[in-house]
Structure 1
Amino acid sequence: MEILLPVMFALGAAFSNALATVLQRKAALSVPRSDKLRAGLLFDLLRRPVWIAGIGAVVAAAGCQAVALATGPLTVVQPLFVLELPLALVIATVLLQGQMSRLGWVAVTAVVAGLAVALFAASPAGNRTQVPMDRWIPSVAVCAAAIVVLLVAALRRPEGRARAACFGLATAVSYALTAALMKTSMHTLDDGGLTAFLTAWQTYGFALFGAAALFLLENAMQAGPLVASQPAITLGDAGVSLALGVTLYAEYVRSGWWLLPQMLGVALIVAGVFALSRMPLARAVTSDERPAAIGAEAP
């Protein structure tokens, strides 16, 4: 039962992030296209309650994620965020009057079932509250180096799948490291109070890498097709978080023959995420482009 609390809050964070994406997209679609500066666009959005609601959902997602990381293993909490894309598309079918094809519903089912199978087979455990510096230094260094390498690789490529995938992977590493740093910060806040939280280097670390993740995400969305960037972000975040959970927080997963159902679960997730990323509805929800018709997807 101890794992139920972080799971519920992680699911709440995934749902809130998905809702925020759809609400902000709905607000953006209500703003007329123009040559306004971004400041003008922001003022237009601020007058729309749906956009304010989207910001509220973002705040709620951050709070839920913080509680989930403070109470549960990184290897449990972060993989649950693969549900963001399926949840966003399901919400979009209602709020944006989109249409989910039969293949889309099969893909959503595949992601949910694959995640359930993988987590059950892996049975992640362990919840260390503090990490020694001799673990932090190499982990942060490797992640930062990976982000730089992926960023350089992306900038050397023209717009397209390769550029989008590199930006997407860099975003995923940033998200995973942000979550790892946030976990320690939340434990510091719980143990030492606000003063300890504000003086912990991890607090400023997760703020820095969190900001980097948002910047890289925007570039990933603009660099190429969603089918290249979204799987890299979704699957990369889960994979890197798993590695950080094991190396930093001494969490562990089952091995041996349990690897077979784990691989099956991962295969279902990968297939489902790629299928969902190809859907017109997914592009309508996550792209900056204004679609001709949100509900134009074939049944």
Structure 2
Amino acid sequence: MNVAAVVLALLSALGNGAASVLQRRAAMDQVREERGARGPKQNLLRLTRLLRRPYWLAGLAAMVVSAVAQVGALAVGRLSVVQPLLVSELLFTLVVGSLVFRHRPDGRTWLSFVTLAAGLALFLVAADPSHGQNTAQNGEWLPVGVAVAIVVGILIAVARMLRGAARAATLGCATAACFACTAALIKEFTGRFSGGVAEVFTDWPLYAVCAVGLLSFLLLQSTLRAGTLAASQPALTLGDALVSVTLGWVLFGERVELGLRVLPEVAGILLMAAGIVGLTRSPAMCGGWDQAVPGHPDLAARNAGKPRPPLPGRRGHPGGGGTP
């Protein structure tokens, strides 16, 4: 397993988690300090002032670091290793959030934390993805792209007939497929760096990354509106990891150990799923910990007893896997 790819993937996950927490802190500071009339003009002014806040700018810097690190990880590592490692964004969100909001997680949250980490480690060690090519063979992207588009289209159509948790989970699967495809396109894009700058900017992968990334972002917004993180997050994070492993195998020739290793691989996936569900349902992640601004108990008191939105991430997410 490429150490540089692992380090860069973890750095990308840390950047996403930190960006979510820091920009959430900036938003909470603004809520506390700026009260008054609402309307389009006032909202625009608030947004403009938000962009000047140190916490928000620090979050933006973390997002840039995360994006660069993910591109670097995919340039030197395997898709089937990098994307599963981005599941650790949930862990980093919890750790950074605990420091920024000074709210210590409870025992249940830490148990979910350990379960997710153990599942991720077990899956990667058991699967032991092999090296593949830096780019796909000629003609392979077209059938794969069509297949992904059909699957995503079917999932979106099914989601339109559902409500609540089922709708969120179904849209989460569609979004995960798009994020995995975006990551695969980034790997294809970085694999063509050796051809020179002209080839990078005149060939199709760069523009495909932008188009599919935008679609992923828009689908993510629908997913987050459809239901709670507890419903969508397992599909988002695990779906991204599993579809990425599949695309790594089909497009880049990355192989995953099978045979008897399937048992620990499945066990790792189940542990990750249990950890993700536990984290999204824990008091630390959905109980308003990200609304309590340190040193301002009045805000926490005002929010007592009110519904509290979950901490948003890149994939609203922790995960990203993602990528838009």
| Normalised TM-score (structure 2) | 0.84
SS in 2 for 1:35: coil
Match of 1:110 in 2: 115
- 1:81 Cα deviation (Å)? 0.8
- 1:21 Cα deviation (Å)? 0.8
Match of 1:142 in 2: 147
- 1:192 Cα deviation (Å)? 1.8
The whole-number CA distance in structure 1 between the counterparts of 2:64 and 2:254 is: 28
Residues paired across the two proteins, number: 290
Q: 1:180 aligns with which of 167, 181, 184?
A: 184
- 1:174 Cα deviation (Å)? 1.0
Q: From the superposition, tell whether residues 64 and 146 of structure 1 become closer, same or farther in structure 2 (CA, over 3 Å).
A: same
| Contact 1:115–1:266, Cα closer than 8 Å, also in 2 | yes
The whole-number CA distance in structure 1 between the counterparts of 2:189 and 2:222 is: 28
For the pair 1:120 / 2:119, whether they are aligned, the reply is: no
Match of 1:167 in 2: 171
Q: From the superposition, tell whether residues 203 and 51 of structure 1 become closer, same or farther in structure 2 (CA, over 3 Å).
A: same
| Contact 1:180–1:245, Cα closer than 8 Å, also in 2 | yes
| Contact 1:21–1:285, Cα closer than 8 Å, also in 2 | no
Q: Deviations over 1:120-147 (max 9, x none)?
A: 1111012301212431111111111222
| Contact 1:89–1:285, Cα closer than 8 Å, also in 2 | no
The residue type equivalent to 1:152 in the other structure is A
| Contact 1:22–1:285, Cα closer than 8 Å, also in 2 | no
* Paired residues for 1:1-299 under 5 Å: 3-32=2-31, 35-37=38-40, 39-158=44-163, 160-189=164-193, 191-283=194-286, 284=288, 292=303
SS in 2 for 1:30: helix
Deviates more, 1:177-186 or 1:85-94: 85-94
Q: Which segments of 5 or more consecutive residues in structure 2 lack a partner in the other structure?
A: 292-298, 309-324
In angstroms, what is the RMSD of aligned CA positions? 2.2
SS in 1 for 2:129: coil
The whole-number CA distance in structure 1 between the counterparts of 2:283 and 2:109 is: 10
SS in 2 for 1:251: coil
SS in 1 for 2:198: helix
The whole-number CA distance in structure 1 between the counterparts of 2:148 and 2:47 is: 33
| Contact 1:75–1:124, Cα closer than 8 Å, also in 2 | yes
SS in 1 for 2:130: coil
The whole-number CA distance in structure 2 between the counterparts of 1:74 and 1:264 is: 21
- 1:12 Cα deviation (Å)? 0.5
- 1:31 Cα deviation (Å)? 2.2
SS in 1 for 2:15: helix
| Contact 1:25–1:285, Cα closer than 8 Å, also in 2 | no
The residue type equivalent to 1:261 in the other structure is P
The whole-number CA distance in structure 1 between the counterparts of 2:174 and 2:253 is: 24
- 1:271 Cα deviation (Å)? 0.7
SS in 2 for 1:99: coil
Q: From the superposition, tell whether residues 257 and 88 of structure 1 become closer, same or farther in structure 2 (CA, over 3 Å).
A: same
The whole-number CA distance in structure 1 between the counterparts of 2:230 and 2:290 is: 11
SS in 2 for 1:126: coil
The whole-number CA distance in structure 2 between the counterparts of 1:17 and 1:249 is: 26
| Normalised TM-score (structure 1) | 0.91
Segments ≥4 residues shifted beyond 4 Å: 284-287
SS in 2 for 1:254: coil
SS in 1 for 2:217: helix
| Contact 1:21–1:286, Cα closer than 8 Å, also in 2 | no
| Contact 1:231–1:277, Cα closer than 8 Å, also in 2 | no
The whole-number CA distance in structure 2 between the counterparts of 1:198 and 1:88 is: 35
The residue type equivalent to 1:26 in the other structure is R
- 1:286 Cα deviation (Å)? 8.9
The whole-number CA distance in structure 2 between the counterparts of 1:286 and 1:151 is: 31
The whole-number CA distance in structure 2 between the counterparts of 1:36 and 1:51 is: 22
The residue type equivalent to 1:169 in the other structure is C
- 1:285 Cα deviation (Å)? 7.7
The residue type equivalent to 1:121 in the other structure is A
**% identity of equivalent residues:** 38
Q: Which segments of 5 or more consecutive residues in structure 1 lack a partner in the other structure?
A: none
Deviates more, 1:124-133 or 1:67-76: 124-133
